[in-house]
Amino acid sequence: MNWAVLGSTFVAIFVAELGDKTQLAALSLSGGRPAKLEVFLGSALALTLSSAIAVLAGDAISRVIPPVWMRRLAGAAFLVMGALFLWESR
């Protein structure tokens, strides 16, 4: 097992999810309910499934598009989305 990849992936996803709409949804679903464990398990399973889909899709796409171009395209998409959000907030 490549511990460096595991650690960097954990940190990247953990930081990206802090304050994200997924965390806010779990927070609101658990508020005022006695079923905290069920909310935790449901949100953990949902994040696990969406991550599995992303990993499988990334593997499939990397067979067609080189990983360096995937990173460049992802970076460009984030820049475009950020610019659009800034433009709309004016």
pLDDT at 31: 87
25: which residues sit within 8 A by CB, 6+ positions away? 43
Residue 18 has pLDDT above 90, yes or no: no
Q: What is the mean pLDDT of residues 10-14?
A: 91
pLDDT at 44: 92
Give the Cα separation of 27 and 58 in Å (integer): 29
| Domains in the chain: boundaries | 3-89
Query: Three-class SS of residue 81?
Result: helix
8 A C-beta contact, residue 70 and residue 61: yes
pLDDT digits (tens, 9 = 90+) for 36-87: 999 999 999 999 999 999 999 989 999 999 989 998 998 999 999 999 999 9
